[in-house]
Structure 1
Amino acid sequence: MNEKCERNFQNEWLWTSLIISVIMPGSVLAGDWVVHVPVKPILAPHGSSVMIPCTYDFPDESGSCQVQSEMWCLNQSRCITPTYVYHSDNIFPEPAYQGRVQYLGSLGSKNCSVRISNLRMKDSGVYVFRFITNHPVSKLPEQKGVTLQVTDPPVNTFVRVTSLGHCSRCPVPPPPPQK
């Protein structure tokens, strides 16, 4: 009786897995080539820090694919650029970002979040993340990226409250000029 129950459970699990894989292809049995970043632009004031949240996935049916490098670039949908905002191999770093970029993931962790500190107006643009694997056939398609808009810092307004005084001789403003 126990063996029959176990066989029924295995059959139900097999059918459920098959149905799920047909209804939602790639979401259970294999990942897609995808990078998840915010859809809406990120607004941050000049001089502040910003964290750009990012995760990624890729198909690995055999379980043997490895991420070889990860990179962030500015205004390049394929990240083919002479300089990078961040590159896991520390190649061709953009001098303007040195000491201001902190990569929050680690190679192959599928966390590609990045923090940029001491924001400058020139940091505004579309940030694109790419990764390279040893997958024999497929590659990550072109990415839209996430827009960062560095804004002017907020203006501090000072309001001084004074008590109203009473004067016996208050000056009267001159009359407006005649036309």
Structure 2
Amino acid sequence: MALKLWLSFLLLQVTHGVQSPRGQWTANIPTKITVLQGSCVVIPCTFTFPMPTSKKILNRWIGFWKKGNKVVSTNIPKWKIPKEYKKRTQFLGDLTSRNCTMLLDGVRMTDVGSFYFRIEMPQYKRYSYIQNPVTINVTRNPQPPSLSVKRDGKVIATCSVTHSCPSIPPQLSWSRSGIVISHIKKLNQLKWKTVSTLIFQPLPADFNKPLNCTVKYRGGKQAKSSTILKI
């Protein structure tokens, strides 16, 4: 349900901020995205095209995401995807709503490069949006989470991390037990934030020792942030 909600929200948005005229072949796609190796990324995409002058009913919509000449994702269920992308991509967009969003999972160093979208309407026209590609950059090192602590009788510690895949968000965990409240917040078209808040009544044993927050990203990579509770 959460995936459907944010995906429907994408239908109302464009990555470059201005909706392109419906009379042009234009794809609204981010120009660059940096992704952690092994993690996943949702590439938001909407497109426009010149409306046919005839009264043809457009009832067939075929979409492809391509890297060079390779088809890496499509809305055709039985299409033969190359082995290196098979089961790693998912076509999320509804083409009838001009949405061409794609998910790429298990990101590899070999994914570095440009991807572009192609639309085919057999009863009308076909077009490759090669002028509107997205470049994927891959980083090996995970970012540690942001950690802050407030004291007001109780300890209220907040840990957060940004990411690019809302359907499979990073997991945050604490080195101490307590009441944990978690949520995910959309920052923009490309970034979401996972936030975890830990609330506990400190004991003498909690002071002058580290309080750790660990993030585990999709793919298994981890990073940690620590703070020392002072008396």
Q: Report the TM-score range of the alignment, normalised by the length of the smaller protein.
A: 0.5 to 0.7
**1:88 CA drift (Å):** 2.3
The percent of aligned pairs where both chains have the same amino acid is 28
AA partner of residue 151 (structure 1): T
**1:113 CA drift (Å):** 0.6
1:35 counterpart = 2:27: yes
Paired residue for 1:123, among 111, 118, 122? 111
Paired residue for 1:52, among 21, 43, 47? 43
Q: How does 1:33-112 map to 2 (within 5 A)?
A: 33-39=25-31, 41-61=32-52, 62=55, 64-74=57-67, 76=68, 81=69, 83-89=70-76, 90-112=78-100
1:67–1:131 CA contact under 8 A, matched in 2: no
Distance in structure 1 (CA, Å) of the matches to 2:225 and 2:28: 42
Aligned to 2:127: 140
Distance in structure 1 (CA, Å) of the matches to 2:62 and 2:97: 11
- Residue 87 of structure 2 aligns to a residue in which SS? coil
1:33–1:139 CA contact under 8 A, matched in 2: no
Q: How does 1:155-174 map to 2 (within 5 A)?
A: 156=223
1:32–1:57 CA contact under 8 A, matched in 2: yes
2:74–2:91 CA contact under 8 A, matched in 1: no
Distance in structure 2 (CA, Å) of the matches to 1:107 and 1:142: 14
Q: Could you say if the C-alpha distance between residues 32 and 158 of structure 1 is closer, same or farther in structure 2, counting changes exceeding 3 Å?
A: closer
Distance in structure 1 (CA, Å) of the matches to 2:64 and 2:117: 6
AA partner of residue 109 (structure 2): M
Q: Could you say if the C-alpha distance between residues 70 and 158 of structure 1 is closer, same or farther in structure 2, counting changes exceeding 3 Å?
A: closer
- How far does the alpha carbon of each residue in 1:88-143 deviate from its partner, in whole angstroms, 9 at most, with x for none? 2232301112222121113433110111111111111101110111355x542551
Tell me which moved more, 92-101 or 48-57: 92-101
Aligned to 2:187: none
Q: Could you say if the C-alpha distance between residues 46 and 140 of structure 1 is closer, same or farther in structure 2, counting changes exceeding 3 Å?
A: same
Q: Could you say if the C-alpha distance between residues 67 and 56 of structure 1 is closer, same or farther in structure 2, counting changes exceeding 3 Å?
A: farther
2:25–2:129 CA contact under 8 A, matched in 1: no
Greater helix fraction, Structure 1 or Structure 2: 1
Structure 1: segments with no counterpart, 5+ residues: 1-25, 162-179
Aligned-pair Cα RMSD in Å: 2.8
Distance in structure 1 (CA, Å) of the matches to 2:50 and 2:103: 27
Structure 2-normalised TM-score?
A: 0.47
Aligned residues: 126
Q: Which has the higher contact order (CA 8 A, sep 6+)?
A: 1
Distance in structure 1 (CA, Å) of the matches to 2:48 and 2:141: 36
Distance in structure 2 (CA, Å) of the matches to 1:148 and 1:128: 11
Greater strand fraction, Structure 1 or Structure 2: 2
Q: Could you say if the C-alpha distance between residues 47 and 141 of structure 1 is closer, same or farther in structure 2, counting changes exceeding 3 Å?
A: closer
Aligned to 2:137: 149
Q: Could you say if the C-alpha distance between residues 85 and 151 of structure 1 is closer, same or farther in structure 2, counting changes exceeding 3 Å?
A: same
